[in-house]
Amino acid sequence: MTSIYDFSAKTIDGDEQKLSAYKGKTMLVVNVASKCGFTPQYTGLEELYEKFKDKGLVVLGFPCDQFGHQEPGDENEIKNFCSLTYDVKFPLFAKIEVNGANTHPLYKYLKAQAKGLLGSESIKWNFTKFLIDSDGKVVTRYAPTDTPEKIGKDVARML
């Protein structure tokens, strides 16, 4: 059986990162974008990360340009935007696709493990979040409108 630890992805700096490096940690995986109405959620995501990273939380940001062309930049532009605008310190990855023929294998897995509204697998918009427990089990899928502040209670309970 496949587990989240079987996947890897390119970091924002172009290095291959195995998700097994996060074994034993609670993960919050988010498809992010720089020019979206939900982009201010970077602030809450970073606050969650800073508050709980020493207790075992890691936030993983996956830029995606599939929704309204809201992540048009390259990896360097994305990294600079996140750093300068939101002081993001949690791990960011290279731009990926979360729907369609070129869906990243990690997202195929996440969508199959935690379906969306009415059993749909497709990601509806930027800032869809997946919460994975410290054993690698995908626990919950959150809608883009579910703010980091709102899901912070769930994260705290899992740590």
Which residues are known catalytic residues? 36
CA–CA distances in Å: residue 94 to residues 56, 130, 149: 23, 18, 25
Q: For residue 149, what are its two tokens?
A: 């502040």
Residue whose pair of structure tokens reads 């995501």 in the numeric block = 45
- The radius of gyration of the chain from alpha carbons, rounded to an integer in Å, stands at 14
| Type of residue at 48 | L
Q: For residue 65, what are its two tokens?
A: 């340009």
Q: How many CA atoms lie within 13 A of 151 on its CB side?
A: 29
3-state class of 157 per DSSP?
helix
Q: CA 58 to CA 13: how far, in whole Å?
A: 18
